[in-house]
Amino acid sequence: MVVRKRYYPHGKCLKCPLEGRIIKDGLCYSCYQDHRVLHQLKEIENNFTPFNEYNKNLFNLYLTYIKRYRLSYSIKNQVKTLVKIFENEKIDTIKSWFDIYCLSDAHALYQPNSTAKGCAFIKIGKMLQELGVLPPREDEKDRQIMLQLSYFFDPKNVEEFSKSLIKIGSSKDTAIDYLYALKNFSHWLFHIKKKNTLEQASTHDIKTYVDFLKEQYPNHYIRPRYNYIQRYYRWSLFKGFIEVDPTPKLKINREKVKINVLDDYKIKQILSFIKNPSSNPEQALMLALTLIWGTMTIDLAQAQILIGTNSFDIKFRRKELTKGKKFYNRPEILKLPTEVRWLSDLQKRYLKYWMGHYSKIKKTYPKSPLFLHRSFNSNNLLSTIIISKRFQEATVSATGTRITNRILRQTCGHLHSQSGDASLLSTLGWSDQFAFHYTWLPREICSE
């Protein structure tokens, strides 16, 4: 029996600009598959009988997300699995990304080798974030706390300690730092001293562990981690979990803190790039906001644009204040001045670029991030990872070398405090205490 290969003519697809094999109805394989799967999804949607109205709304969010992209037969299979869940199971109200992760762990809706990239519940979470129901995904810390706790043999006391930190107003990031330090000490204690819990550690054990750290790390790494361990044992003594505080009285010297700044030549290169009317407006704005206003990566990632006639303002996202932070050290709205000619021109160029880009984006809900996805698939906030990459692309365009946001921000602080007065920094995001440090800390020219 002779098997003949099916012949597909070559040509230009009617739906996309690519040329290749035309499968049917003038469409290439990808477009034809997308068309077929979309038709099958409509049939699934028509026959869908959700457990309740909330399940139906979640399913609609999922469909909205996947229809932004090319559809594949693997996506159809993921939809069928999700339909069974939404028809037979009541989904509790999703209030955080932690709820999303719990649903994702409970249901196997992600296959690494499948073209249906990503978990269905994560996709729903992204839509809820876009809708404003959930905060940015990077704010989720409960899952990280649980991950750190999972490394302990008996996490009961450590978990209570982390909850006590959060209860007194410490941030969850601080709690994670404590847990990370305690986890590393716990692992060392088990592998070297064969002790399962932190409560079994002796003074000699802690001294030996600090000596072990000194062989590998500088003092600025060791000092805070020793303080974390010390605080945990003081808390354990107060709670009655141990009878004697085993932490020895060690003096770990502080290392000299320095401010890393760029040399004058690189600063002039960046300013020249910002002022150049032919430079990329997005890159120029990123560099200007960091060098002049000291914005951090997370500020750039979560900022919104407030459009005026020929200019715009920038609205920064404000997170809840934690222990030790009584004030927001940056105004919520940054009003960019228009009196300076080059800055006014930059605003006009970026506004034109932004509006042209925004008009092409698939917008399900009204949201206007300062920096937009290049894929045009959504107007959701960018992650700090994407912003960091774009920022380094901007520094390469301006200077030919990669420079991190942290270095440029410290250079901003240096420039604003050269007169000996650093009070301005307390309105640009620096704390009052660290703003004062800029008046006397030594500078180190960075080679980046």
Q: Which of 92, 113, 134 is the last residue of a domain?
A: 134
Number of domains in the chain: 3
Mean pLDDT of the chain: 86
Residues 6+ apart with CB under 8 A from 308: none
Rounded Cα distance between 347 and 218, Å, is 44
Judge if 300 and 440 occupy the same domain: yes
Q: Does the predicted TM-score (pTM) go above 0.85?
A: no
Q: Are residues 313 and 434 located together in one domain of the fold?
A: yes
The pLDDT, as a whole number, for residue 26 is 64
Residues 153 and 102 in one domain: no
Residue 214 lies in a domain: yes
Instruction: Tell me the percentage of the chain whose pLDDT exceeds 70.
Output: 90
- Among the ranges given (12-16, 96-100, 173-177), the one the predictor scored with the smallest mean pLDDT: 12-16
User: Is residue 252 situated within a structural domain?
Assistant: no
Q: How far apart are CA 445 and CA 411, in angstroms?
A: 10
- The average pLDDT across 97-106 equals 90
In a domain, 221, yes or no: yes
Q: Are residues 348 and 379 in the same domain?
A: yes
pLDDT level of residue 106 (50, 70, 90 thresholds): confident
**pLDDT tops 70 at residue 6:** no
258 or 180, which is more confident: 180
Q: Is residue 3 part of a domain?
A: no
Indicate whether 13 pLDDT > 70. Answer: no
What's the pLDDT at 53?
Answer: 94
Residues 379, 130 contacting (CB under 8 angstroms): yes
- Assess whether 105 and 29 both reside in one domain: yes
Q: Which tens digits make up the pLDDT trace of 303-317? A: 999 987 778 899 998
* pLDDT at site 361: 87
pLDDT band at 259 (very low <50, low <70, confident <90, very high): confident
**What is the torsion angle, in degrees rounded to the nearest 10, for the CA atoms of residue 94, residue 85, residue 54 and residue 78?**
80
Mean pLDDT of 158-170: 93
- Residue 268 placed within a domain: yes
Here the CATH number for the domain that contains residue 348 is: 1.10.443.10
Q: Quick one: 316 and 407 in the same domain?
A: yes
Same domain, 263 and 397: yes
Does the pLDDT of residue 387 top 90, yes or no? yes
The range of the structural domain enclosing residue 167 comes to 142-239
pLDDT at 99: 93
Mean pLDDT (whole number) for 139-163: 92
SS (H, E, C) the chain: CCCCCCCCCEEECCCCCCEEEEEECCEEHHHHHHHHHHHHHHHHHHCCCCCCHHHHHHHHHHHHHHCCCCCCHHHHHHHHHHHHHHHHCCCCCCCCHHHHHHHHHHCCCCCCCCCCCCCHHHHHHHHHHHHCCCCCHHHCCHHHHHHHHCCCCCCHHHHHHHHHHHHCCCCHHHHHHHHHHHHHHHHHHHHHHCCCCHHHCCHHHHHHHHHHHHCCCCHHHHHHHHHHHHHHHHHHHHHCCCCCCCCCCCCCCCCCCCEEECCHHHHHHHHHHHHCCCCCHHHHHHHHHHHHHCCCHHHHHHCEEEECCCCEEEECCCCCCCCCCCCCCCCCEEECCCCCHHHHHHHHHHHHHHHHHHCCCCCCCCCCECCCCCCCCCCCCCCHHHHHHHHHHHHHHHHCCCCCHHHHHHHHHHHHCCCCCCHHHHHCCCCHHHHHHCCCCCEEECCC
Residue in this structure with the two tokens 């129901």, named with its chain if needed: 133
Inform me whether the pLDDT recorded for 335 exceeds 60. Answer: yes
What percent of the chain shows pLDDT beyond 90?
52
292 and 227, same structural domain?
Answer: no
Last residue of a domain, which of 174, 208, 239?
A: 239
- Same domain, yes or no: 392 and 422: yes
25 lies in the same domain as 84:
yes
Average pLDDT on 6-28 reads 59
Residue 2 lies in a domain: no
Mean pLDDT, rounded, for 7-33: 61
pLDDT at 9: 57
So what's the pLDDT on residue 19? 52
**Which tens digit of pLDDT belongs to each residue from 404-442?**
999 999 999 999 888 777 788 888 888 877 778 888 888
The domain boundary residue, chosen from 109, 134, 159: 134
- Are residues 130 and 52 part of one domain? yes
Instruction: Mark whether 361 and 301 lie in a shared domain.
Output: yes
Q: Would 250 be classed as within a structural domain?
A: no
pLDDT band for 357, please (50, 70, 90 cuts).
very high
State pLDDT tens for residues 55-82: 999 999 999 998 888 777 788 888 888 9
Q: Which residue has the higher pLDDT, 87 or 14?
A: 87
State pLDDT tens for residues 223-240: 999 999 999 999 999 999
Could you tell me if residue 99 is inside a domain? yes
The answer, yes or no, to whether residue 353 has pLDDT greater than 80, is: yes
Residue of 363 and 187 predicted with greater confidence: 187
